[in-house]
A and B are shown apart, each in its own frame.
Chain A
Amino acid sequence: MAIKAEHINYLYGKGTAFEQHALKDVNLEIADGEFVGLIGHTGSGKSTLIQHLNGLLRATDGKLYYNGRNIYEDGYDMRALRSHVGLVFQYPEHQLFEIDVFTDVCFGPKNQGLNKEEAAKRAKEALTMVGLDESYYKRSPFELSGGQKRRVAIAGVLAMNPDVLILDEPTAGLDPKGRDEILDQIKRLHEERNMTIILVSHSMEDVARYVDRILVMNHGEKVFDDTPKEVFQHYKELEAMGLAAPEITYVVQTLKSHGVPIDTSITTIEEARDEIIRLLGK
């Protein structure tokens, strides 16, 4: 069991006029190798939640276990935790600072205590994983395009060899092709390295296509925790929360409401196409 959260509560600005109950009694379990999606409206607590998972924020109440150990117990090494649970923030290219791409990617491994050769090895692997070849190594990160910068930033976290990778809206601001490329790369990481992945996203279509399981946050509470097919059946409730289901969900639900015997758990274009063709006997 990679991550387990028990009755997590978090209050911003406890005791001040700005006190906010950002996380309310959140319980969840994420097993090794899962690919989980985390969705929720702005302010639902999803960013707060992921910062708990690598110890950047400390719960006001509750327990958090990583690989069986409670991270809030005395003497627990939080910095080591961050080597295992990698977190890529939104617009990660804003964290780039070194003189060239290669040195920036080495920052993480160096902080882990690795020597120069080992760090270089990790950096090379990480840059290959995100599809940046040697021609990029000596370039200044600030000369690159937005999409390239983002890949460097992701490589910077991958170079730490985390077991769990959390990505907060990795496709924000990218064009459609850029979005597909990054998500395909993440999918490959999941398949080839059996990394546990948590993907925070606003795009239901993206989430439906890639993840095995979806967690839905609403006003600090976890309200749904199930497969995409199950979660999107609750599309009306999702709408009430300010979220939506993938467009395809609306297609099949509307067909169903008109009497078409179609499987309403369909969430992707391919499934919808095949099912409609099948039903129409073509």
Chain B
Amino acid sequence: MLKDITLGQYYPVESILHKLDPRTKLFGTMVFIISLFIANDIWAYVIATVFLAAAIKLSNVPLKFMVSGLKAIVFLLLISVSFNLFLTPGTAVVSFGFLKITKEGMIVAGFMGIRLIYLVVGSSIMTLTTTPNQLTDGLEKSLGFLNRFRVPVHEVSMMMSIALRFIPILVEETDKIMKAQMARGADFETGNLIQKAKNMIPLLVPLFISAFRRATDLAMAMEARCYRGGEGRTKMKPLKYGNQDRVTYLVYFLYLAIIIGLRILRVQSF
């Protein structure tokens, strides 16, 4: 059951975004996040909204999947919004005793909230339109220059890819081990912090042993299929920039230029 939850939730469908090189999408996410921190007036946010909305539309992924990522940050969102709402000094609009909501607070809270939401949705678009393998391939290719500094880029990328593959399996195994120990009377709920930590031993030891066993098996299987590191390897899905990527980079450039421009022009923020 838990196996069904794949990390990052790749949504398989045909779209322009799905066809883009993962490096383009990685870069785009970075650009978008940076822009959210540069933007500080309503027009910049409008442009950012247009950018995001266009990306959502172009991805062909149903909106509900984008929004599902927000469930994770609901708590954070509430705290951030509340803090800004109640603690920003300025002209009061409403007050309950010593608590007051200011006009300035509402504006700041509003933008904070939007920024957080856009951050999450923006990152989701990347993971929804890019498979874990494409992501690690993208990172591997773009960080390739580090090879010159003896950084084992390929090996790290392979490790990330394998980790992504095995996380659902290990999650399921954790559940199984927990249940098996509970069937022997183990208690993972009661007790103070130290108690709880001790109680985790019957869970962690078997889990570690299992993980090591899997690693050994996997290494043997990889060697049996002639794996010997990155040298001499070809790629089944090599990354190559296409025209759509070049156009997209141009769009990024323009977008970022507009956002920065707006910031410089509108010296007055709120």
Contact = CB atoms under 8 A, between A and B. Distances in A.
- Chains A and B touch each other in the complex, with CB atoms below 8 Å apart: yes
A112 interface: yes
Nearest to A159: B184
A94 B185 contact: no
The size bracket of the interface on A is: 20 to 34
A54 B185 CA distance: 11
Interface in B158-193: 173, 176-177, 179-187
A160 B179 contact: no
Given A13-B1, A18-B1, A18-B4, A82 B206 contact: no
Contact of B185 (A20, A51, A79, A97): A79
Contacts of B210: 94
B182 A95 contact: no
A165 B173 CA distance: 23
A20 B186 CA distance: 28
Contact of B184 (A13, A18, A20, A111): A111
B182 A82 contact: yes
A20 B177 CA distance: 23
B267 to A, nearest CB: 48
B205 interface: yes
Contact of B182 (A12, A56, A96, A142): A56
A82 B202 contact: no
A102 interface: no
B209 interface: yes
Query: Which of A87, A111, A112, A156 has the largest count of B CB atoms less than 10 A from its CB?
Result: A111
A157 interface: yes
A160 B182 CA distance: 12
Contacts of A13: 1
B187 A94 contact: no
Contacts of B224: none
B9 to A, nearest CB: 11
Contacts of A97: 201-202, 205-206, 209
B187 A95 contact: no
Interface residues of B, number: 20
A83 interface: yes
A89 B185 contact: no
Contact of B183 (A20, A86, A94): A86
Given A94-B176, A94-B206, A95-B206, A56 B1 contact: no
Interface string B3-23: 010000000000000000000
A157 B1 contact: no
A108 interface: yes
A169 to B, nearest CB: 13
30 contacts: A20-B1, A56-B179, A56-B183, A79-B185, A82-B183, A86-B183, A88-B183, A89-B176, A89-B179, A89-B183, A92-B180, A94-B176, A94-B180, A94-B210, A95-B181, A95-B184, A95-B202, A97-B202, A97-B205, A97-B206, A107-B186, A108-B184, A108-B185, A111-B184, A111-B185, A111-B186, A112-B185, A142-B209, A156-B184, A160-B185
Interface of A: 12-13, 18, 20, 51, 54, 56, 79, 82-83, 86-89, 92, 94-97, 107-108, 111-112, 142, 156-157, 160
Interface of B: 1, 4, 173, 176-177, 179-187, 201-202, 205-206, 209-210
